Structure 1
Amino acid sequence: MAGDDNRLGSFLRSRREKIDAASAGVIDNTRRRVKGLRREELALLAGLSPSYYIRLEQGRDRNPSREILEALARVLRLDDTERAYLWSVAMPPLAPAGDDSDPAHAVRPGVLHLLERWRDLPAFVVSPSRDVLAGTTLAARVNPAWSPGHNLIEFAFLDPRARTVYPDREEILLQAVAGLRATAATRRSELDGFVASMRERSETFRALWDSHDVYERVVGEKRLAVDGLGILRLSFETFALAGSEGHVLYVYFPRPGSTDDEALRDLT
């Protein structure tokens, strides 16, 4: 994907380099000159032949069994999201059939009706590539990136306003790329071009993408700098909308009775 045809091998290598050899049970009295586990060490810990694992990481063998994947996930200490990503790159699903006339950009009328009624909440719908397709008026007032016509990834990495809007921008960037990689595992054909474009346009994006971190934050909290209000602290929930489009609904909300709650009511 976007210069990474061997996604399985690249992901395995990136995780291998993050495992501490001593904590994994490797006894080595020599001065180590490699990060993490050596390929041969990982292979032995997983019960594989070193030559087979090397072929797997180099992309010369791309058909590992379920047992092999489970063994590698155990040694690499993958969490649930990383395990799902490992499975998806090792056994990618068939591309879904569908209408190519306007892929993924038509938000259902019922969802639009809900957004119109949620006048007191920042809420918006995004495509797999994080294009904002629809949103509440309040969402655009809280964050310019949360309005239709913007892309969350492009805004965070390329728009100068992001440095002001996101007090914790570095963490936002890490989460954005890790989440995009998780999405790309199942929607590769849709995201190839977007990822390639971002790699060209942003050195920071390229470095984070090449780190192969993968996780999704479906709930959490963000701090945002809002004109006239200062720093607003909002929780969020995400909802995957049924359908082949891959749309996700984000809803942000303050803690009841907090100063953030009062500030958001004033803004409304």
Structure 2
Amino acid sequence: MGTEPTNQLGQYLRARRALVTPEQSGLPAGSRRRVPGLRREEVALLAGVSADYYLRLERGRDRNPSAQVLQALARVLHLDDVETQYLHDLARPASRARTAARHRRAERVPARLHDLLAAVGVPAFVESRAFDVLASNPLALALSPRLAPGGNRLRSLFLDPAERDFHRDWEAATAEFVGAFRQSIAIPATGLADGDGGDPHGVAHDSRVAELVGELSLASGRFRALWDRHDVRRLRGGTTLVDHPVVGELKLHRDKFPVEGLLLVLYYPDAGGDSAEKLQLLASWAATTTEDAPPGT
């Protein structure tokens, strides 16, 4: 008979219930629990659905749960707004197929973005939804050579030892990147609407993403553990501390702006602060390095 095909909604439900403790749900922990987190029947009880119905959801036998059921599951699994929306999207393959068509357009950097990268006085680059770097300005390269076009930010983060030294809190950075990555590529294969059982990673529709997830899952235990959690985080900016080999510690704000299916990413310091001065020094160093480089390099 073989094993039953996996499905994205079921995988997400299993991953999230494994993270909720009985104590968080007001249930006795007991001493003979064989699974981390909540049992299926406990989730069903707390959500007000039958255990058989919940089992069908996890096994992909019911692909049309109502909004009320999804909201109840989100409450039981302690999902935030972003995770709740992700849960609803997983249960609506038809609408996600339309979104997939929009995202499958060629990832080409418009000429005006190249002009913008050249004009701004802060590290800036353009990335795809798979976190491939498509274009960057000289100051971004001075901040990190791993921001060169053709690189991938996830691959660098997990596989390049220099990234561990670069990020002041590498553990937090990896968790944030993987959650944002899953949100960015959260568009399952259109075949889900045809009842084919789905794709266990949610990436079969995009060979580039599938290749990247497969590579990182094999090469990095840290990535594999984070990927299996199914965390979802909003694509947004923030503040990060990095250790630069030339100018030392930099505190930089990060903002991301969507442009035609791509993301424009800017790193900038507080005006007048120590990091602003260091960034100016970095810009001068980068300009000097470029001027001193042999022709054709």
> What TM-score do you get using the length of structure 2 for normalisation?
0.80
More off after superposition, 215-224 vs 147-156 = 215-224
1:248 aligned residue: 263
2:21 aligned residue: 20
State the aligned residue count: 258
* 2:241/2:249 contact within 8 Å kept: yes
5 Å matches for 1:66-77?
66-77=67-78
Q: Could you say which structure has the higher helix fraction?
A: 2
1:60–1:262 CA distance, 2 compared to 1 (3 A): same
1:40–1:97 CA distance, 2 compared to 1 (3 A): closer
CA deviation after TM superposition for structure 1 residue 132, in Å: 0.5
Paired AA for residue 111 in structure 1: L
2:97 aligned residue: 94
1:195 aligned residue: 213
Can you give the 5+ residue segments of structure 2 that lack an aligned partner in the other structure?
189-202, 284-297
1:267 is paired with a residue whose SS is helix
2:97 is paired with a residue whose SS is coil
* 1:21/1:36 contact within 8 Å kept: yes
2:23 is paired with a residue whose SS is coil
Q: How far apart, CA to CA, are the structure 1 residues paired with 2:215 and 2:65?
A: 31
Q: How far apart, CA to CA, are the structure 1 residues paired with 2:177 and 2:166?
A: 15
1:149–1:79 CA distance, 2 compared to 1 (3 A): same
More off after superposition, 30-39 vs 66-75 = 30-39
Paired AA for residue 239 in structure 2: E
* 2:109/2:135 contact within 8 Å kept: yes
Paired AA for residue 26 in structure 2: G
Give yes or no for the alignment of 1:262 onto 2:277. yes
Select the residue among 114, 129, 152 that pairs with 2:116. 114
CA deviation after TM superposition for structure 1 residue 45, in Å: 1.1
1:94 is paired with a residue whose SS is helix
Q: How far apart, CA to CA, are the structure 2 residues paired with 1:131 and 1:177?
A: 14
* 2:247/2:281 contact within 8 Å kept: no
1:127 aligned residue: 128
Paired AA for residue 125 in structure 1: V
Give yes or no for the alignment of 1:212 onto 2:230. yes
* 2:184/2:235 contact within 8 Å kept: no
How much identity, in percent, do the aligned residues show?
40
1:7 aligned residue: 8
Paired AA for residue 222 in structure 1: T
CA deviation after TM superposition for structure 1 residue 168, in Å: 1.4
Q: How far apart, CA to CA, are the structure 1 residues paired with 2:243 and 2:66?
A: 48
Q: How far apart, CA to CA, are the structure 1 residues paired with 2:216 and 2:282?
A: 33
* 1:175/1:216 contact within 8 Å kept: no
Q: Deviations over 1:169-210 (max 9, x none)?
A: 111111111111111212642223322232223232122111
Q: How far apart, CA to CA, are the structure 1 residues paired with 2:130 and 2:117?
A: 21
5 Å matches for 1:50-61?
50-61=51-62
Q: Which runs of 4+ in 1 moved over 6 A?
A: none
1:29–1:76 CA distance, 2 compared to 1 (3 A): closer
Give yes or no for the alignment of 1:154 onto 2:172. no
More off after superposition, 58-67 vs 130-139 = 58-67
1:254–1:17 CA distance, 2 compared to 1 (3 A): same
Give yes or no for the alignment of 1:230 onto 2:231. no
Paired AA for residue 151 in structure 1: N
RMSD of aligned Cα (Å): 2.1
